[in-house]
Structure 1
Amino acid sequence: MEVKKEQIGEIDRNPVYAFTLKNDHGVEITCINYGCIITKMITPDKQGNFENIVLGYDTLEEYMMDSTYLGAVIGRVGGRIKDAQFELDGEIYTLSKNEKDNHIHGGIKGFNRVIWDAEMLKKGDIAGVQFKYFSPDGEEGYPGNLEVKVSYSLNNENEFVIRYDAMTDKKTPLSMTNHSYFNLSGNLRRDILDHTLKLKSEKFLELDPALIPTGEMLHVGNTPFDFTHERSIKSGTVSTHPQNVLVGEGYDHPFCLSNNHNEEIVLKDSESGRTLIMETDEVGVIVYSGNSLRNEGNVRGVPMRKHLGICLETQGLPNAVNQPAFPSIIIDRGQKYNSVTKYRFGIDR
């Protein structure tokens, strides 16, 4: 097991470092302390070729200009909050508006736009890095001083674990996630339309025209949202279902998970043989098929385009602060917040 650290630049005289975790089988994860961004995941295909399976850039400057949240930690709250406000204990809190009249992914300067303190970790067959950030009361409109930790760890079972921990001195919403775009073809040689996905989920959330949950949970049966058996991502991009059309031909929907820590999310690419199995504590996963990726610029020499990557964002349900029927994402003063999502890399031969 190895952990390496190198400086890749600085922001306002604060150094930015890249950390590379590598296990004994050649699997590598690279991340930086700006936004806790995962820049590379190197895994083997069925022919033994080690290639990158996430979208990312080569320079810090590109990440600073990025508007698609490539690889970043999202917080305080992932997803959209309607009208950028919510009520808590009789008080209305107004958040920053960064998507028309709504708030998305933590705001203008969310967790993805800050430099985190970082410490390398190595213990036995585990290599990792722990990030820390202090989010002051009122940041982006959220109440409470919040101390946050995010740890990334890799082991020799080809398992990569993200753990989120936090503590607040005042009631506040918190629902963190990671926004990596996966592409199991390797080095972005194909888009993700022929990837298949399997979810242990029987319900998904209906979205309104602003892509905010209406509050209705719809059954997946007999729809393009039925991933209880393997389904291609392409099936949703060519669908005429109003919800697929609404989000730009594909998926950008929260799914309610019916199982946890039981191989509840499985992504596959049959041509490369790569598989990704995800397990989580969270109640939901947002499946986003990259419908809004524009034909602008490139990602490590590959033109950016629609459906080049897929996000699988494990988190609480979006806009839960305004939907009493959704599981609460409010943490109380002194309450310990923690959440774990595990990614296991494999091969189908």
Structure 2
Amino acid sequence: MADTSSRVARDVFGTLPDGRAVERVALRGESGFEARIITFGAAIQALIVPDAGGHCDDVVLGYDDLDGFLRERKFFGATVGRYANRIANGRFDIDGKVVQLAANNGPNALHGGPDGFDRKLWQIADIGNAPEPFVTLSYVSADGEENYPGTLDVRLTYRITGPHELSFAFTARTDRPTIINLTNHSFFNLEGAASGRDILDHRLTLFAEHFLAIDPTAIPLAEPPRAVAGTPFDFRTASVVGARIREHDQQLRHGKGYDHNFCLPNDRALKLAARVEAPRSGRIFELLTDQPGLQFYSGNYLDGSIVGKQGRLYRQSDAFCLEPQVWPNSPNRPDFPSPRLVPGEVYRHQLVYRFLSGRGEA
């Protein structure tokens, strides 16, 4: 990877079938910490993090080359949009007009449709070192793309904001009323993506009092958020991910494990939402977000059919996802936080991935 400076590097990761180049940018922190971002899907292709002893590993699942990303759509590290998560029956109403989306997840629309933002080639709008290593990617989603209304101008800046800290700043503007819900969809294993260990022994804390119960198609039920207290969804104090994942619980059956939205304060303040600790490596991951929801997914649908980095097969519970966002099916639930965006307003989403050593040091 050719250096443009000591802390930012840029090269070509691969070429699309139509001949367009997919670029890769490496942003470097301290002690080997490095985020590698590709312009296809504005995705995190690798995230190199030191453990408690200073040994560095890639902690996100994915592919070593572009062919893997093109061959299979599994959202590894991807920027998901125009609407992350599910919309019931692929249908919503905006200003009295019914919008019908493609149903690409059973009866529902998922993650922007069959050809969402994760399948698009983003452009590098800016890149540099000042005041920290950063890259800004841009994508313009045309009016009617995947049948969403409005031309949407999206920007995403990845920035190193601490020794082992990667921050995201999403913004978007529209020329017509529309809906928007963007997130990052990295699959984490804090022991290392090639460790051969699952994540069921990771200790998870979720700073949420309530979660959304779902139907068998993962759409929130027509009821208020449920209290986590007294359920397998109570992670308010650190709990092993696998401790209750096989309990006889209807919600665990519906999600094939954990695949649920946890409800955070809807105050737009950046706050600590989750903390994950790996027992062997000593890595600690903290997630901060200003979004009202956090989808926790325990890798339930990884089934051994995917060949990932270093030729490894990805199997159930090999990784977890923590996806900050508005709540699923919000366009059809006026009692949920709104995903609506209108001309003159700016969609904003801040997200921070912070890694600590086993001693709690950044």
**TM value normalised by structure 2:** 0.93
* SS in structure 2 at match of 1:19: strand
**Which of 4, 9, 14 is matched with 2:14 structurally?**
9
* SS in structure 2 at match of 1:140: helix
Q: Report if aligned partners of 1:296, 1:304 keep a CA contact under 8 Å in 2.
A: yes
Partner of 1:161: 167
Partner of 1:183: 189
Partner of 1:204: 211
Could you tell me how far apart the structure 2 residues matched to 1:255 and 1:130 are? Answer: 29
Residue 249 of structure 2 aligns with an amino acid whose one-letter code is H
Q: Report if aligned partners of 2:30, 2:164 keep a CA contact under 8 Å in 1.
A: no
Mean alpha-carbon deviation: is it higher for 292-301 or for 99-108?
292-301
Partner of 1:339: 349
Could you tell me how far apart the structure 1 residues matched to 2:39 and 2:276 are? Answer: 27
Partner of 2:199: 192
Partner of 1:292: 301
Partner of 2:117: 111
Could you tell me how far apart the structure 1 residues matched to 2:312 and 2:345 are? Answer: 45
Q: Report if aligned partners of 2:68, 2:308 keep a CA contact under 8 Å in 1.
A: no
**Which of 218, 223, 239 is matched with 2:231 structurally?**
223
How far did 1:51 drift? 0.5
**Which of 279, 283, 289 is matched with 1:270 structurally?**
279
Partner of 1:48: 54
Could you tell me how far apart the structure 2 residues matched to 1:164 and 1:93 are? Answer: 25
1:242 aligns with 2:250: yes
Residue 195 of structure 1 aligns with an amino acid whose one-letter code is H
**Aligned Cα root-mean-square deviation (Å):** 1.4
Could you tell me how far apart the structure 2 residues matched to 1:228 and 1:329 are? Answer: 27
**Which of 255, 258, 261 is matched with 2:270 structurally?**
261
Partner of 2:336: 326
Could you tell me how far apart the structure 2 residues matched to 1:333 and 1:203 are? Answer: 33
Q: Report if aligned partners of 2:204, 2:240 keep a CA contact under 8 Å in 1.
A: yes
How far did 1:333 drift? 1.3
Q: Report if aligned partners of 1:236, 1:244 keep a CA contact under 8 Å in 2.
A: no
Could you tell me how far apart the structure 2 residues matched to 1:43 and 1:24 are? Answer: 10
Q: Report if aligned partners of 1:74, 1:178 keep a CA contact under 8 Å in 2.
A: yes
1:308 aligns with 2:308: no
Could you tell me how far apart the structure 1 residues matched to 2:176 and 2:244 are? Answer: 42
Q: Report if aligned partners of 1:204, 1:254 keep a CA contact under 8 Å in 2.
A: yes
Partner of 1:84: 90
Q: Report if aligned partners of 2:284, 2:355 keep a CA contact under 8 Å in 1.
A: yes
* SS in structure 2 at match of 1:201: coil
Could you tell me how far apart the structure 2 residues matched to 1:99 and 1:16 are? Answer: 28
- Render the CA deviation track for 1:23-82: whole Å, top value 9, x for unaligned: 233200001000011111101111111001100101101101223211100001110101
How far did 1:256 drift? 0.3
1:135 aligns with 2:149: no
Q: List gaps (5 residues or longer) in structure 1.
A: none
Q: Report if aligned partners of 1:274, 1:346 keep a CA contact under 8 Å in 2.
A: yes
Partner of 2:156: 150
Could you tell me how far apart the structure 1 residues matched to 2:244 and 2:177 are? Answer: 39
Mean alpha-carbon deviation: is it higher for 310-319 or for 118-127?
118-127
How far did 1:101 drift? 2.2
Q: Report if aligned partners of 1:130, 1:150 keep a CA contact under 8 Å in 2.
A: yes
* SS in structure 2 at match of 1:35: coil
Q: Identify if the C-alpha distance between structure 1 residues 283 and 156 changes in structure 2 by more than 3 Å, giving closer, same or farther.
A: closer
Q: List gaps (5 residues or longer) in structure 2.
A: 1-5
How far did 1:120 drift? 4.7
Could you tell me how far apart the structure 1 residues matched to 2:353 and 2:137 are? Answer: 19
Could you tell me how far apart the structure 2 residues matched to 1:187 and 1:211 are? Answer: 27
Could you tell me how far apart the structure 2 residues matched to 1:304 and 1:255 are? Answer: 25
**TM value normalised by structure 1:** 0.97
Q: Report if aligned partners of 1:188, 1:308 keep a CA contact under 8 Å in 2.
A: no
Counting aligned pairs with the same residue, the percent is: 36
* SS in structure 2 at match of 1:24: coil
How far did 1:100 drift? 2.5
How far did 1:125 drift? 5.1
Residue 246 of structure 1 aligns with an amino acid whose one-letter code is H
Residue 278 of structure 1 aligns with an amino acid whose one-letter code is L
Residue 251 of structure 1 aligns with an amino acid whose one-letter code is Y
Mean alpha-carbon deviation: is it higher for 158-167 or for 95-104?
95-104
